[in-house]
Amino acid sequence: MTVNVEALLREALTPVEPPPALADRLEATLANLAASAQEELDSWELSAMRDPRNWVRPAAAAVITATAGSALVALRVRSRHRARVDESATLREFAERTLQDIAEEARRILPDR
């Protein structure tokens, strides 16, 4: 009995499409995390920052805001990847459109920053 390793690997490594609702749920979760962390940061007063013991919550909120915001930007930009490829005639044009899209999404997530 011979085993075709190449065929087994090809079958095992076949790409699997995620459920359509997964991207929507992930986007909603990331947006909620970023908004909640931003509210936490906005509620802190500078006078409370004199004590280093009070630095944990704002530091965690800043990290969560940056991480969730970055992931949300990446998710939204990636979802429009195919459209940018189709609209772009050259690699440079594609890169410019991608950078513009990243900047636009970042402004949407943190509009007052």
Mean pLDDT per 10-residue segment, the chain (113 residues): 81 83 89 86 75 82 88 87 86 91 86 57
Residue type, 10: R
Average pLDDT, the chain: 84
The reported pTM is: 0.66
Question: Residues 6 or more apart from 27 whose CB is under 8 A from it?
Answer: 72, 75, 76
Q: What is the pLDDT of residue 99?
A: 93
Distance, CA of 62 to CA of 70 (rounded, Å): 12
pLDDT on residue 29: 92
pLDDT of residue 112: 57
